[in-house]
Amino acid sequence: MSNEKMVRISATIPPKLLKEFDEIIEKIGIDRSKAIQNAIRSFLNEYKPIFEKEGFNIGSIILIYDHKARGLEEKLTDIQHDFSQVINSTMHIHLDENNCLEIIAVKGELKIIEKLSKTLLSLKGVKQVKLALISTKA
Ligand code: NI
């Protein structure tokens, strides 16, 4: 946590949204200020990469695929070898009879990470790909 000076903000939001927000932050056990800071960081992590295509990024690619899809697991391995410059590690979880979940930790140039993400999504048998980037700066 940095020692930078805090600023006070005010915002207008619908009561129902605030109620839901307060219920969740109470369960987590943090105060509103901390929760709003966290929400703003999540927002920045989600939208900043869209506007800032350059630079160094860290995060993960989460994918669900059909492990019975022919040749898919080999392709996934080949692709991950091709993109080893941005892959730190991969976690594999056998979800059920048909589905596997893979979590790929990524670190490096956003353009390469995005290319990896799109390449994975283009494969037959890959059902869902989610790229989640996080920042040490926000
Ligand atoms: Ni599996």
Per-residue pLDDT of the chain (138 residues; tens, 9 = 90+): 566 899 999 999 999 999 999 999 999 999 999 999 999 988 887 777 666 656 678 899 999 999 999 999 999 999 999 999 999 999 999 999 999 999 999 999 888 999 999 999 999 999 999 998 887 665
Ligand 1 centre to CA of 3 (Å) is: 45
- The pTM assigned to this predicted structure is 0.69
CA distance 66 to 85: 26
CA distance 60 to 87: 9
Residue type, 83: F
Query: In degrees, to the nearest 5, what angle opens at C-alpha 132 toward C-alphas 110 and 63?
Result: 105
Ligand 1 centre to CA of 95 (Å) is: 7
By DSSP bridging, strand 126-134 and strand 56-66 are antiparallel
Ligand 1 centre to CA of 64 (Å) is: 10
Ligand 1 centre to CA of 40 (Å) is: 35
Ligand 1 centre to CA of 72 (Å) is: 11
